[in-house]
Amino acid sequence: MFKYIKTIPSRLIILATCIGLVISTCSAATPKLPTLTDLSQVVFKTKPTYIGNFTSEKESFYQPAIIPYDQFLSVEKVFFQAHKQSRFLSPEYWLGGHEPRTDYCDFDADVGELEHPFVQRLFVPAGSIVCFMGDLHGDIHSLLCNLWRLALLGYLDNNFKIKSQNFYMIFTGDFVDGGAYGTEVWYTLMLLKLANFSNVFLLRGNHENELHSSGAIGGFENELKGKYQAQQDTIYKTVTKLYRLLPFALFLGSGVVDNESASFVQCCHGGIEIGFDSTNIVRGNGKQMIFQRVDNTPGPNNNVITRLNKESLIDSKINYVLARKNENYNGFSWSDFQQEGTSGQIQFSPVRDVGYVADMTATLKYLKLNPQIKAIFRGHQDSDFGFKLFFKQKPAKFDYYEKNPNIISAQTGPYYWREVVKAEAKNPNIKELRVADFTPVFTFTTAVSARNLTHDSFCFVLTTPRFDEWMLKPFEFPVTKASALDLTPTPEKVKEPSGKYLSIKPAEGRALGDDVMVLEWSATPAAAPVSQSLIDTLRTR
């Protein structure tokens, strides 16, 4: 199904304009933006900061600013202007006409605490490839490495421009907090979104919330203080305004717009938001892309909750007030899943003290009541591995977790995808998964340094008019000496890149499925961390 990934995609259609958006009017005031090469050459002269090596001193964690203050703000202004000039403020693209205020996208407007939480729907043509990247948590090194891989595979150019009209990217939230480079991650994602406004989607995670980016070690607010000092308040205020431009969920469909048989996957950071009725947004209004405001009062009298209660799907002890502390604390960004343990009901999350948690029995019941939503693609539970699944039937024992009791998700899940495939697939060695063959909750993370992972990763999803033919291909690339199948983080493996500098060069004579580039770690930064041979290789793509 993904055979065209194997070849240099000279057949790909070059996207000449940003679909549905013109930002040329504001480009004259914008300084020359860095290329992927420019940004990487600077970033790779800094060290990744692995969370296992944090100290109690904030000063030991935060790194000097890579992006100058004025340049960061100038790109933010373009980001706001791009949303203002797009469909985002047009009433005809909002169900019920509940569009934001006209000054919601004004960089200089003082909108106070105004929030307009929303979700978005997107139809993509059949045969599209959608690239999913999970939690980043300030890991700029892994983000740039993965963008280089996409460039070397022929999907991205040196100016962050997607080269295929039917290639999309969805980032499932949690871009900041936990890592030392949240500022640089935000800046890079803004460049990527601006270059591909209708093909790149940044979803709002629970850490894209000014109430959550606390002053703790690893918190984004303290990162900005360390990097921009007296200017921290200004830049933090503008970034938290940016949060409001991110959808809490994206309902992704493929095929003919508003076909009654169309299927969708719910893409979000967390999971189930029990007060949200997805009926209208999946039925749509004849447009490829539409928006819907999220109801911020999902109490027991909410119509959807009443319907779920009739099915005994909601725990009677659930506390709606605690689960939704304010309109930003919703299940799309906060909810969890686990294999078993909630008695087939959706419960208040006792671990996070906000949001909900559902086991697989409850999740399948919920999706049955929402038949056009076939699966949930998300992040949030970001420990251990880059791509994780749940079992249809959890085995009594499975070797990987028996041998590695330190694995956080060993008891509740989600579990490393290869373990699930080994237990449930007819061919345990498959490298491409038919999405409909697995329990419909798919979890992604890319936060290598913040979560002590041993591999970079992302996934491709190939869409078709029929959901039962959608295919998923995981990509995993070791950042340490761990083998391709030995992904368990240990102090020895994580220590290898910690405190060292990264440089990259193209892989030669690689086998299909191997990394397209070589990562090298050294005690001192290379003069040119991105090798000339890698730059030359990119030019031929």
For the entire predicted model, the pTM comes to: 0.91
Q: List helix spans (H) across 128-278.
A: 140-152, 182-195, 220-228, 232-243
471-478 sheet: strands from edge to edge: 200-202, 167-171, 129-133, 455-462, 471-478, 433-434
Q: Which residues pair with 519 in a beta bridge?
A: 504
2/126: higher pLDDT: 126
Kind plus residue range of the DSSP H or E element containing 365:
helix 360-369
Half-sphere exposure of 196 (CA within 13 A, CB side): 24
Question: Domain 3-53+112-539 is of which CATH architecture?
Answer: 4-Layer Sandwich (3.60)
The closest alpha carbon to 137, from 447, 385, 427, 372, belongs to: 447
Domain boundaries, the chain: 3-53+112-539
Least confident of 3-17, 173-187, 514-528: 3-17
Distance separating alpha carbons of residues 19 and 198, to the nearest angstrom: 6
Q: Can you read off the two tokens belonging to residue 279?
A: 């009926």
Q: What is the mean pLDDT of residues 95-123?
A: 84
| C-alpha 509, offset from chain centre | 31
Distance separating alpha carbons of residues 367 and 364, to the nearest angstrom: 5
**Residue 235: pLDDT band with limits 50, 70, 90:** confident
Query: Residue 7, class by beta-carbon neighbours within 10 Å (0-12 exposed, 13-18 middle, 19+ buried)?
Result: exposed
The closest alpha carbon to 488, from 409, 430, 380, belongs to: 409
Distance separating alpha carbons of residues 173 and 389, to the nearest angstrom: 18
- pLDDT, one tens digit per residue, over 185-206 is 999 999 999 999 999 999 999 9
Distance separating alpha carbons of residues 388 and 44, to the nearest angstrom: 29
Q: Can you read off the two tokens belonging to residue 134?
A: 């999970």
Q: Which residues pair with 135 in a beta bridge?
A: 445
- pLDDT, one tens digit per residue, over 378-422 is 999 988 889 999 999 888 777 677 777 677 777 788 999 988 998
Amino acid identity for residue 85 in this structure = Q
Distance separating alpha carbons of residues 22 and 245, to the nearest angstrom: 18
In sequence order, what are the residues at sequence separation of 6 or more whose Cβ sits closer than 8 angstroms to the Cβ of residue 493?
454, 480, 481, 482
Indicate the DSSP class of residue 162.
B
Q: Can you read off the two tokens belonging to residue 407?
A: 């694995």
- pLDDT, one tens digit per residue, over 324-382 is 656 667 889 999 999 998 999 998 887 787 788 999 999 999 999 998 999 999 999 98
Q: Can you read off the two tokens belonging to residue 45?
A: 């002269």
